[in-house]
Amino acid sequence: MKISQGEILKNALVIDLLDEPGHVNTNIRLIEILKQSHNITLITNDCYAENFKVLNVKQFVIKKNNFSGGFGYRLSQLLSLLNVRKFALDGRYEFVMFLAYETISMSVFSRLIPKYVRKKIFIFNHNNIDQALGNKIKNFFFKRISSDVNHLVYEKYIKEFLEERYKKKSIVVSHPIPKVDEFLDDDKVLQVFSPSAGGKIYNQDIIQYSSGSRDVKFILKGDIEFESSNCVVKRYFDDYFDLLRKSAFVFIPVNYDYRVSGVVYEALANNCWVVMLDSLFAREISNRYPGEIFVIRNINELSDVISGLTLENLNTSAVYTTNSDQDVFKNYQDMFKSFL
């Protein structure tokens, strides 16, 4: 589904000032989809802009202030937000979308712009809610983000939580999935890939388990590099998507309650089985994709999942029928019609 040929595209402002490396792939896919209906202007910090040169969109780059400490970081975020204020006030943009945000600075910023602008601002919640629940100061500022601002979330239960606990205007949107080359069964090997930095606390347990499971290879992200005959630990993966394509399993040992994991969607798009530690998000998405996502209570149950499946059991993921580009595009168009 696209805008009719000859129809004039409206302008939209998309902003990301957090520089999260793990968000780049999803952000690119989302902007590619939004480009079908809008002329996108993208604003990022100078250290992040290089990631988006593949997109044919107008870009403005803001020099990032690198102040030290927690207060310094939030001050630098607020100064960056004040730098984009003039763009947000520009009446040519139908909506202003923040792909991520820092809670305290956004709370202050939301009070420094007029109501008519706040009503067309959409902000993506990532770990903001979980952080607010675990920190009194962040909770204080999260509550005080203007109620005019639209919160974007990827799950209905998160929307309901925001509305019930914080009285926030919330909208559920579909998570884009990466473009994947034609899937070949022969590409898959009995390999467990764990690319989440939060899982490194379990690496020692997995290394110990791998020593007695020679027929399975483990590739893990961690602070200390390690390599054995069937286990590799690295700080960074240049071949992230190649590893997803080849791995039969992706292990995500991180607690996701009121946030989601982009890695899950990237793994599903590459027809991987996903193993997650028990959390609100893990339970929700395992119900949506039964037989593709497995929820375990502790690291010891990982071996039970691996031993119970063989490569012959792999099938094309149902994520292609729920989160296709057409589905995501329609989701956003319906949202804009309802809220703008």
Structure-block tokens of residue 310: 């063989």
The pLDDT of residue 127: 95
pLDDT for 206 equals 87
Task: Kindly report the average pLDDT of the chain as a whole number.
Answer: 92
Cα 33 to Cα 36, 55, 87, 158, 261, distances in angstroms: 6, 11, 22, 23, 20
Mean per-residue pLDDT, 96-125: 97
User: Residue 4: its pLDDT value, please?
Assistant: 55
Q: What is the mean pLDDT of residues 160-189?
A: 87
Residue 196 has a pLDDT of: 85
Q: How confident is the model at residue 1 (pLDDT cuts 50, 70, 90)?
A: very low
pLDDT (mean) for 304-310: 91
Q: Which of 4, 121, 30 is nearest to 327 (CA)?
A: 30
Q: Is the sign of the CA dihedral 177, 182, 185, 191 positive or negative?
A: negative
Share of the chain above pLDDT 70, in %: 96
pLDDT, one tens digit per residue, over 209-250 is 888 777 899 999 988 889 898 999 999 899 999 999 999 999
Q: Comparing 149-158, 164-173, 306-315, 322-331, which segment has the lowest mean pLDDT?
A: 306-315
Domain 10-176+323-339 listed as CATH 3.40.50.2000: yes
The span from the CA of 168 to the CA of 147, in Å, is 6
Q: The tokens of 207 are what?
A: 């290394």
Tell me which CATH code domain 185-322 carries. 3.40.50.2000
Does residue 3 register a pLDDT over 80?
no
57: number of Cβ within 10 Å: 18
Write down the domain spans for the chain.
10-176+323-339, 185-322
Share of residues in the chain with pLDDT > 90 (%): 76
Please state the rounded mean pLDDT for residues 252-277.
Answer: 95
User: Which tokens go with 180?
Assistant: 């994947």
Residue pLDDT, tens place only, 7-29: 688 999 999 999 999 899 999 99
pLDDT digits (tens, 9 = 90+) for 177-196: 998 866 555 678 999 999 98
